[in-house]
Structure 1
Amino acid sequence: YTGWTTDGRMFDSSRRRGEPATFGLNQVIPGWGEGVQLMVVGEQRRLWIPQELAYNGRPGMPAGMLVFDIELLAIEP
């Protein structure tokens, strides 16, 4: 995945780190939970997540609407 602010500033990227990230649905922002639950393995999706479903003003985190490009590599039980 890669995350940007709507002005194009990248703030996080597992691709840049060169390794996939693993998350449980209870470990991600609400917008991710909604956006990935209907994805299938191998699918790529761009999510536009409003602030209320992103970090919602949490200090030190990006504010406003966020954009994420996500590729679902696997689903673990």
Structure 2
Amino acid sequence: MMTDFNITDTIIGTGKAAERGALITAHYTGYLADGTVFDSSVQKGVPFECVIGTGRVIKGWDLGVLGSDVGEKLLAKWGLTLDLPDFPPMKVGGKRQLSVPAFLAYGERAVGLIPPNSDLRFEIELIDVKTRD
């Protein structure tokens, strides 16, 4: 079972940075630990939209998209302790891989094809960031 949260940037974006409360548009593919795809906006052909940093997605997504500075604040709010690597928020045009331990994903809940206590891996491509400004 994985305990570390890891991010790997495969492409560094050059557009607007994600920020807490922004509406993000992203393409993603989610994998189980054995490599099985459990969900993919790419395969559906429809980008995923959500407000980031407000609990609308799994904790691992909020952390992975928003970066370590905001991530530390979110962890404190959630009452979790974690050694986060130092990494910036995603920017539009960027692609990032997230390795998300079960406690930052769905924990003991089974969701769709995801068994309880599953570590997950995501490939995320940030397409757009809309803020209120």
Q: Which has the higher strand share?
A: 2
Separation in structure 2 between the aligned mates of residue 22 and residue 5 of structure 1, nearest angstrom: 22
Using the size of structure 1 for normalisation, the TM-score is 0.93
Quick one: percent identity of the two aligned structures?
A: 42
| Between 53-62 and 23-32, the greater mean CA deviation after superposition | 53-62
Gaps of 5+ in 1: none
Residue 31 of structure 1: SS of its match in structure 2? helix
| Residue 42 (str. 1) matches residue 93 (str. 2) | yes
Q: 2:49 is matched with which residue?
A: 22
Residue 96 of structure 2: SS of its match in structure 1? strand
Aligned residues: 77
1:7 to 23, 30, 34: 34
Separation in structure 2 between the aligned mates of residue 47 and residue 53 of structure 1, nearest angstrom: 11
| Between 61-70 and 25-34, the greater mean CA deviation after superposition | 61-70
Gaps of 5+ in 2: 1-27, 67-88
Structure 1 residue ranges, 4+ long, deviating more than 4 angstroms after superposition:
none
Q: 2:128 is matched with which residue?
A: 74
Compute the displacement of 1:75 (Å).
0.5
